[in-house]
Structure 1
Amino acid sequence: MIALAGAVVLMLAAGAWIAFGRGGGAPATHARAQVVARPAQRRAADRVVRLVVEASGDLLIHSPVWEQALVLGGGSRYNFAPLFAQIRKYIREADVPLCHVETPMTPAPPTGYPVFNTPPELATAIRETGWRACSTAATHSLDQGQTGIDDTIRALDRAGVLHTGTFSSAAAQRTPLIMTVKGVRVAFLSYTDITNGIPSPHPWSVNRASAGQILADARRARADGAKVVIVNLHWGDENVAQPSSFQLALANRLTRSPEITAIVGQHVHIVQPIRTMNGKPVVFGEGNLISNQTSACCPTASQDGMIVLLTITVDSHGARITFIHYVPIWVRHPDYVVLAAGVAARTDPADAAVLRASYERTVAVVGRGPHLQPVPAHLPQ
């Protein structure tokens, strides 16, 4: 079992102690009266809740991936769930498991790159794997137009999976996704910087990565009672491990706001660093969770990704990140099973060398520290 709940303040490689998201100024003083808190009030003020939020990379369903799902479904249906079976424990053990849907899901015949359409059965696999909510604002959100957005929402609704980032109405866009977990209201917001060159059918169809809109939505979520606000951003330069100037500027603007707890991101198809900005964690890029990308078309690292596990402590001071674990993953070809690279390197002799190499690539980019650790923390020599 992973020790996910360290009641500590995150200290990264720079060696500085950082309190993530702790708000509030100096307490007011009043000389004329002393207010004595009742026991119930003291218990509420002293209550500490720890949550683990899971976030992961692109569900990028190229044609070979859905073709394999059709094989797993006996040729008559699409069964994506076995592709995620080896990582399911990390999803199910989280209090708030979040996924990122890159491609639209409609009943029309499936297609792959460059204009995607994914079988709606993916939504069932998302639910069966254990994800509770998914971000849907991505490069390919508009590949099937507004119909694709509506069908994707319908598929997720039928599967019982919450969603945010693309919408069927202006009213839906104005309503932040908020989940109550262990008595804490957690908001999840989703935005994309690009839409495959396709204009949005309506201003509300897909959330765009504008600092003004993100901050307005975060304020709305706080007004609706959210104690934690997680922002998901589809951003960056493809196949580039270092954050772009746009990513850095937007992250700096957002993390200055007391409304934002943490940022997680996808899009570039390889892993990017986890950094601290203005006392808050920014997971710039989690790579692909599943895709057909390999060194045959793309960087070798496009077969890598990571599952990020954010431990959040919520108390009377607010919410802050107190530990980050990340699970390096590797997509095995040609069966497209997603493996926890470090764990599988110990148990899968046939692929041990490539799994170890994948794990080491990811750790080299993301790093480790006393309160930032890969899973497993080390591989045997």
Structure 2
Amino acid sequence: MKKWTVPFILFFLFGGTVIGYIVSTQEEANGQTEYTIHNHSTLQDSKISNKTFKTEITLGAIGDILIHDSVYRDARTSDGYDFKDMFTEVKDSMLKQDLMFANQETIIGGTDLGLSSYPQFNSPYDVADALKESGVDIVSMANNHTLDVGEEGILNATDYYKKIGMPYVGAYRSKKDQQKPRILKAEGISVGFLAYTYGTNGLIRPENKPYLVQYIDDNTIIEDIKDLKPQVDFVVVSLHFGLENQRLANDVQKLLADEVSKAGADIIIGHHPHVLQPVNWITQENGHKTLVVYSLGNFLSGQAKLYQRIGGVMQVQLSKTIDENNKSHYNLSNVKVMPTFNYRPDYQNYKIVPLYKANQYGLSDAKSLYDEISDHMKTYTDDIKTVPNL
């Protein structure tokens, strides 16, 4: 067994007072990589008695980080790029989550490969720094832009993620890298992550390097869940699917989500439509329940249409109870979505803000739009809450 520890300390402020830090520990044993997140936020509910033990954490998720040229131009500084200020208004809501997932839509291949925008993106490494500082613990790399700058882009990106201690999933450096389960732990609860995309915009994945990006394939996903599930308490599957700009899930998305649920996934996080699609619960005949958000929309992008500028931070509570017979019981509950707005007058001064307060940033109908989005996210189920802030 080989172990190594890489500390990353992040102090953040509430009312000018330092209240927390993060330390990530990476361990490799028997080909498995685990990341343990400590003190990302206060343990929310832990109960110990002579009969049972219960612990709870929150899992947060955000949608597409889609770095168009207008976004990276706005982040330009005298000596590089800095995206951190763009997250200031939502940072506290992200840091409150015990574990935080993001869809990094554009490859962070770095400036040496030449920055680029639509239709083939390449973004600065500094995007990852902003995500890290804002509380993101793992990113999906499986999307239709994964191959935009080829294998070199993937190698550069994963090099940098490893450098800053950011786990990634869905695109890999090698077969060995692909075979290492992505498992995050917080407060005694383990969560495994998988990620897949419908395709890569016609760019061909090398036949001898299938690990570079994971495509959606029913049999592969089922087998991957089967392998991962015994190792963790919860399985999260990221699916890059659906039709762009469609505000409701289509039949293909629903059928695939049901198959992934049957295979044992506990949470499905969707993206690609670039607009919010509603949340739902899928219940199988054996009683297994899966939370699915069909699309979390754009979180940060240069896209212009109104609904393309609305995303969200999703939060779900994960609980684990060990009874007097040492049997574990798992539950998902208290699902919340905080709608967000991508503020950027004249494609400058980008800032992600809670939709509810976007009137302070020039969106005159922010309150009515918030109410509309709240109803929209409950199209399939009332068993979620839309909230102004987390």
Same fold flag (TM > 0.5): yes
Alignment of 1:193-232 (within 5 A): 193-201=198-206, 202-223=209-230, 225-232=231-238
Q: 2:354 aligns with which of 317, 337, 340?
A: 340
Counterpart residue type for residue 373 of structure 1? K
Pair 1:146–1:342, CA change in 2 (3 A) = same
Whether the aligned pair in 2 keeps the contact of 1:330 and 1:358 (CA below 8 Å) is no
Shift of 1:320: 2.2
Tell me, in whole angstroms, the C-alpha distance in 1 between the residues paired with 2:236 and 2:50: 24
Q: Does the residue aligned with 1:273 lie in a helix, a strand or coil?
A: strand
Moved more, 48-57 or 209-218: 209-218
* TM-score, normalised with respect to structure 1: 0.81
Matched, 1:293 2:296: no
Shift of 1:352: 4.6
Q: 2:190 aligns with which of 185, 191, 205?
A: 185
Equivalent residue number for residue 252 of structure 1? 258
Structure 2's unaligned 5+ residue stretches are 1-13, 15-47, 284-288, 323-327
Q: Does the residue aligned with 2:115 lie in a helix, a strand or coil?
A: coil
Matched, 1:331 2:337: no
Equivalent residue number for residue 282 of structure 1? 292
Pair 1:231–1:44, CA change in 2 (3 A) = farther
Shift of 1:344: 4.1
- Deviations 1:22-79, CA, capped at 9 Å, x for gaps: xxxxxxxxxxxxxxxxxxxx95972111111001110000000000010xx2x32100
Q: Does the residue aligned with 2:299 lie in a helix, a strand or coil?
A: strand
Pair 1:44–1:64, CA change in 2 (3 A) = farther
* TM-score, normalised with respect to structure 2: 0.79
- Deviations 1:342-375, CA, capped at 9 Å, x for gaps: 1444xx1x52524334423422320287741111
Q: How many residues were matched structurally?
A: 325
Higher RCO (C-alpha under 8 Å, 6+ residues apart):
1
Matched, 1:90 2:93: yes
Equivalent residue number for residue 366 of structure 1? 377
Q: 2:388 aligns with which of 370, 376, 381?
A: 376
Q: Does the residue aligned with 1:155 lie in a helix, a strand or coil?
A: helix
Pair 1:291–1:313, CA change in 2 (3 A) = same
Equivalent residue number for residue 333 of structure 2? 322
Shift of 1:376: 2.3
- Deviations 1:182-222, CA, capped at 9 Å, x for gaps: 11111111111121211112211111112221221222222
Alignment of 1:128-207 (within 5 A): 128-201=133-206, 202-207=209-214
Moved more, 306-315 or 351-360: 351-360
Counterpart residue type for residue 317 of structure 2? T
Shift of 1:118: 0.3
Whether the aligned pair in 1 keeps the contact of 2:355 and 2:388 (CA below 8 Å) is no
Whether the aligned pair in 2 keeps the contact of 1:99 and 1:131 (CA below 8 Å) is yes
Whether the aligned pair in 2 keeps the contact of 1:341 and 1:355 (CA below 8 Å) is yes
Equivalent residue number for residue 10 of structure 2? none
Percent identity over paired residues: 25
| Larger-Rg structure | 1
Tell me, in whole angstroms, the C-alpha distance in 2 between the residues paired with 1:352 and 1:291: 17
Moved more, 175-184 or 111-120: 175-184
Alignment RMSD, CA only? 2.0
- Structure 1 runs, 4 residues or longer, greater than 6 Å off: none
